[in-house]
Each structure stands twice: as C-alpha cells, then as structure tokens.
Amino acid sequence: MIIRIRVGRGAKVGKGTRKNRRLAAVAAALLSPAALIAAALALWGVTADMGVTRSFAIPSGFFSHWQTWLAMAAILQVCSRRLNRYSREEVPAAEQRDESASNPISRQSLPNAAPKTPGSDSLF
C-alpha cells in the first residue's frame, strides 16, 4: 500500500528580485533599537569624559571611545532606514505579472470574472 501525502507549496524565496521584503522589515525593526542603544552608550561615554557620570562600562579598547558608539549608531540607523524603504517599495509590474501567472486561480484568469467594486460583495 502506497500513501501519497500532497503538501501545498510554500512561499518562494529568492526567485524574484525583491522576495526578501519580510526579512528586510524584520531586520529594520531590530536595527532601530540597536541604534538607540548605541546612541545611549555614546551619550554615556561623552558624559563620562566630561566627568558628569562615573566611568564608562568599557574602560579600554576600541569600544571604549564614544565616537565609536556614535558612528555605530549612525550606521545602524542608516541601515535600518534603507531596509525599511526596501521592504515598503512598490512591486514592479513585471513581478506582479509573474505572481499572477503562478497563481492558477487568480481573478484575472477566470473567464466570467467581473471587476471587483466596492459594495459588490452582496449576493443580490
């Protein structure tokens, strides 16, 4: 006895030019708080150098300088904004056609499908 289990296909990743939008949105959402933390560490380093606060948590090395943390905060924020913009861009018309062609039951492929208008959801 042979039993076949058919599983539907999942989302295709990497087939088009802009398929990783969700990953970009997640990365952008995580980079903004990281930039805020880096800016807070830069502020702490500045105030520690001025003598307003006690010593900085990292006493020596590359990360002991507030300029490093400020540059890191700026880079993280720029990356976050660029990823956010990438994840929210409009899908080009060529990719929309590819997605509708891969969907066997799309509204455009139905022979007698009328265009959907607001209020046309009623049965009568």
Domain extent listing, the chain: 21-90
45, 50, 73: which is closest to 61 by C-alpha? 45
Q: What is the pLDDT of residue 113?
A: 52
Q: What is the pLDDT along the chain (124 residues), one digit of tens a residue?
A: 888 888 877 766 555 556 688 899 999 999 999 999 999 999 999 999 898 988 888 888 898 898 999 999 999 999 999 999 998 887 665 555 555 555 555 455 455 555 555 555 555 4
SS3 63: helix
pTM of this structure: 0.58
Token pair 């995580």: residue: 30
Q: What is the pLDDT of residue 89?
A: 81
